[in-house]
Amino acid sequence: MTPTPEDLAGAYALDALDDIERRRVERAAEADPELAAELADHLEVAAILAQAIETSPSTPSPMVWQSISDAIEGESAPDIEFVTPRRNSWMTRVVATVSVAAVALAAVLAVRVVDQDRRIENLTTAMQTDPVDQAAQTAITAPGSQVVTLADPAGSAATVQLVMTEEGVGYVLSDALPALAEDRTYQLWAIVGDTVVSAGVMGNDPGITPFKVAGGEITGFAITEEVAGGVVSSQNDALYLWLNA
């Protein structure tokens, strides 16, 4: 009798399945949150067991780190693909759609690019005299700067504005964002070409947040809510999104 994916859950966490069985379990877990939770528990138990075992001597030779360090030495820009491979990610959707039809996507998501003059007037009025605020205000009025409005893809009226200078330095004018719980944070993402990169972890109650994006043409920005400290790739929906149509 063929074992069910549930039967194989424990063996899965111990890497004790063949490839076909492992894929069966993974496919089943994608559609079954209960099974996915059980797998997560088993994997955590396995990791604890691994940590509990002490072997002596358990220290790798210094040459291991030296080899790692040498291997990354020449990599000024590692080939990091920030686009999450998992489905249901706004990153995947955004990047895929930007690649084929940026204009159409902009229309679908109701991206609003606010008239620049009106933005500047509104923003400078709101600015405080904090050094970061002043820097942002300078950026807003600097030649070549671009002010964009990130809109709620769900269609609400909520927006966040952001100014980006020609030098790649920017400021999220995020003081209107509602405060999150202390274990959460807002995170800013830049879409550079067909890649989504983290542009900054903004904190749970951000004011004006500076950031810098180096290299490449920026085709969009997004803000997500994440666990405190930020994540490398987001699985959450964008709260605010701007795409360069």
List residues near another protein by CB under 8 A: 1, 3, 7-11, 13-18, 40-55, 58-61, 63-65, 67-69, 71-72, 75-82, 84, 197-198, 201, 227-233, 235
Q: How far is the CB of 3 from another protein (least distance, A)?
A: 6
Token representation of residue 223: 């803000």
Phi, psi (5° rounding) for residue 214? -105, 135
Is-contact 188 198, C-beta < 8 A?
yes
Smallest distance, Å, CB 29 to another protein? 12
Closest to another protein by CB, 48 or 100: 48
Nearest CB to another protein, comparing residues 117 and 183: 183
Q: CA angle, corner 239, sides to 238 and 241, nearest 5?
A: 65
For another protein, give the closer residue by CB, 111 or 202: 202
Q: At closest approach, how far in Å is the CB of 216 from another protein?
A: 14
Q: What is the rounded CA–CA span in Å between residue 84 and residue 200? A: 17
- Residue 38 tokens, joined: 């059980």
**Closer Cβ to another protein, 21 or 175, answer by number:** 21
In angstroms, the first-to-last Cα distance of the chain is 56
Q: How far is the CB of 217 from another protein (least distance, A)?
A: 19
How many residues appear in the chain?
A: 245
